[in-house]
Structure 1
Amino acid sequence: MYLQANGFAGHDVCVDENDQLKDYMYWAHFNVKQTFESLRPKEVFVPHISARQGGHKTEDHDLDTLVHGPHSIQNGWEWYEMGFFAHWNPAGSITLLCFDVPAKAQKAIEKLFLSGITKLDSPYAAFTLISDELLRLYDSSVWRIRNHISQWETRRSQETDYFLLHEIARHGVHVNETLSVAARSLGALRQYHDVFLKNLSHGGNKPKIKTWDTVGSRLRFQLDLLQNLNERSVANNARIQNEITLAFNAAAQRDSMIQVEMGLQSTREASAMRAIAVVTMIFLPATFVSTLFGMNFFSFEPSEGRGRSSFTVSTHFWIYWVITIPLTIITLLMWLWWNATTGRLQASRFKMVTNAKIYPV
């Protein structure tokens, strides 16, 4: 459970039979998330499985590796989950164990210790060297997120890749989380250092004031710098949220412009249909009259010589009206029935959609 935490810090004190300091120990765990130039969403989700869940007997470290293993590098990010343990005694001897530190950071820490620039007669003097390298890792983590955001800002005019946009935001949230936890852990170590000095000054051992003050001031400075990096990470998250909002607003604006263009096109089509309807209304009466009088029910015989022309109507003209009027009424009734039926179906579908329950997925 502890190795899978996002960070912590603790300490312990051992005293002899005379209540004098015998051994002093402290430990800490820090997580750093590094992103690379090419980011893409992961295709496989690896669940977290507790060692006590489902009868699994896998060690915590192996379980942690399953969740945050090297497989994430192919997707463009990597987790550094580093652990530190220090054992110090008043004689000035210190044993420092470092776990899962990146190779480049290992060499940098080793170089700092071999340089001898810091006296190790304080239990927390060694950790100030480690904190310097941790700050470099956290600084790189924040700036890499910033680089992704800045690169995105230069491509606003291109097609929006929403998956990449949310991927940047996801990693930004993780970076902000690790910085907040790291600041609390480093703050806890600084408090442990202050308590150690206070208790040591009440005992028989008198510390070297200059050395202790130097360690304390360095821890406070490193804590301030880490908190400032956290503020920059918060600003990065605000920037990426602005980009997400802008992307959605731009998409909505494009959709709105398309809708406006479709509306204008519909208006032009409606104008054309109106013109066709007007022309039809102008010629329809004349067409009806010419068609009616062109039927065989009417007979027109021109005059021969000086005789009068004749125009006669068939006695069976009533058959036209007997067939036409009922057929017209039936057609109108069928149209009214079809219109009412489709209206009820649309109302039923609308009611079904509005009353439907939406379940989260």
Structure 2
Amino acid sequence: MPSVREIRPDSPKWSNLRSILNAKYHVPWYFFGFLGWNHNGSYTGILSDGGRKHVSTARYLIKQIQTSDEREDIPLKIKTNFSWDFLCFHVLWRETLTGSKSLILLCFDLAGGEVKETNERLLKRMKDHILNVNETNVHSGVSENPFSIHTILLREVLSIIDGSVWRFRDPLKSLEEQIKPEDDDGVRKQQGGQAAPGTPPPNSLPNTKGPPKQPLTTRNKLDLAKRESIELYYHLLGLLRHLTHGIETMSASGTALARMEQDCANFFPPVEVTAGVNGSERKRLMVDPTLEEMRCTIGLLKTMQERANSNEKRLERQLDRVFHQVDLESVAISQRVLDEIRNNDRDVTEFLTRLTVIFLPATFTATFFGMNFFELVDYPIWIYFVVTIPMTLLLFCLGLGLPGFGNWEALVRKVKRHPEQNIV
């Protein structure tokens, strides 16, 4: 059958088909509208003609995460391609007065959403599974009752949902394995024991007691690490959105199955039988195997949903970790800027102090002899140089005894900082 979206009322191409489906096969009214196409999961069942006719419609929507492609522009290779599987089954079951039974199954949207490459893949998978079960089932065929076909289809639906849940887990597990907790030195590690890109070494923290033992990590690398973390954060937000939507569709499918199980229980009321011999007879209730399998299917779906909920919680924890990691990297950048300012001010102050020591004797001499208590009418200029030069040499020699006073070349290099350390 064509897609439900193609046979909507606003499409005149399939007007005749809509009339046939509605009148002859009793397809529900909402099936041809946007509600039927976009519904996450639903079930409706109607029993008529004294229990000899049953019409049911089941709709499932499954979100898949693709495993073929990987993102190459983020530090962690997390798969990001998604697709939808639209599954819709309409069953018309009849039983004649002579006891013969017939079943008509209409399959819609078994084309893997809008992915053309998967066209007929799901349909062939369902068809092969139905034929295989019908041939190997020694108890009854798929037309024995109106719910046997649903249980057979649900086996494949659960298989698809199970694969989707575990594929959602793969990128999450990859993320947890590649990003390790900090070691004793505070270095973020990846697999193989290597530091993560842009991670500052342990000795890159601000040193308040003197020059650092090794060069500090440049702020450009810290900015790069922060940008990568921010990109990873938004990527995880997108992954969480898809996972939450997948859980929503699973919950809707669970609601549809609960409705189907109730309809099946009404069709197969428990039968009271007497078991035992020689006076030990006991009355027991027999449950139809189809109903029991449907209940088992509901239990399996609930366990899958619990797994999906667990994946969501794990992903939320990773999202919180990356969020706090961005905060820590922002603090590291701010601390790096403050450290640059402090080191730069210290170097400039040291440079100006040395210049002041050199020019202090000349300034002091000129000021001293310019005071009012000196009455030199004809002041010889040579006296100024005789006093200034020895004092300058004396102070310079005393300064050579101080640590690093004579290393002018290193001091000039500190003042002329590298361009990537400029404060903006």
- Normalising TM by the smaller chain, what interval? 0.5 to 0.7
Partner of 1:111: 128
Deviates more, 1:75-84 or 1:234-243: 75-84
Q: Deviations over 1:190-220 (max 9, x none)?
A: 011112224999xxxxxxx97x611011001
Of the three residues 89, 94, 104, the one matched with 1:89 is 94
5+ residue gaps in structure 2? 1-34, 72-78, 112-119, 180-195, 198-227, 273-284, 384-424
Distance 1:39 1:226 in 2: 29
Distance 1:221 1:231 in 2: 15
User: How far does residue 288 in structure 1 lie from its aligned partner after superposition?
Assistant: 4.5
Q: Deviations over 1:111-135 (max 9, x none)?
A: 2322322533121011100000000
Cα 1:219/1:8, change in 2 over 3 Å: same
Asked whether the 8 Å contact 1:149–1:168 carries over to 2, the reply is: no
Q: Deviations over 1:246-276 (max 9, x none)?
A: 1122222222233333333333334344545
Letter paired with 2:300:
L
Partner of 2:39: 5
Partner of 1:47: none
User: How far does residue 136 in structure 1 lie from its aligned partner after superposition?
Assistant: 0.7
Of the three residues 179, 187, 197, the one matched with 2:250 is 179
Larger relative contact order (Cα-Cα within 8 Å, sequence gap ≥ 6): 1
Cα 1:302/1:213, change in 2 over 3 Å: closer
Aligned-residue CA RMSD (Å):
3.4
Is 1:35 matched up with 2:65? yes
User: How far does residue 100 in structure 1 lie from its aligned partner after superposition?
Assistant: 1.4
The total of aligned residue pairs comes to 259
Letter paired with 1:223:
I
Of the three residues 205, 217, 239, the one matched with 2:292 is 217
Larger Rg: 1
SS in 2 for 1:89: strand
Of the three residues 265, 269, 286, the one matched with 1:194 is 265
User: How far does residue 78 in structure 1 lie from its aligned partner after superposition?
Assistant: 1.1
Is 1:24 matched up with 2:54? yes
Partner of 2:235: 164
Letter paired with 1:22:
R
Partner of 1:143: 166
Q: Deviations over 1:172-191 (max 9, x none)?
A: 11211111111111111001
SS in 2 for 1:243: helix
SS in 1 for 2:150: helix
Partner of 2:110: 101
Percent of pairs with identical residues: 19
Distance 2:93 2:109 in 1: 22
Cα 1:218/1:199, change in 2 over 3 Å: closer
Asked whether the 8 Å contact 1:39–1:164 carries over to 2, the reply is: no
Partner of 1:127: 150
Partner of 1:261: 336
5+ residue gaps in structure 1? 41-73, 202-208, 304-308, 310-361
Cα 1:22/1:216, change in 2 over 3 Å: closer
Deviates more, 1:158-167 or 1:28-37: 158-167
Distance 1:279 1:142 in 2: 70
Distance 2:105 2:46 in 1: 15
SS in 1 for 2:145: coil
TM-score (norm 2): 0.54
Asked whether the 8 Å contact 1:39–1:77 carries over to 2, the reply is: no
User: How far does residue 39 in structure 1 lie from its aligned partner after superposition?
Assistant: 6.0
SS in 1 for 2:110: coil
Distance 1:283 1:300 in 2: 29
Asked whether the 8 Å contact 1:145–1:171 carries over to 2, the reply is: no
Of the three residues 1, 5, 14, the one matched with 2:48 is 14
Asked whether the 8 Å contact 1:28–1:84 carries over to 2, the reply is: yes
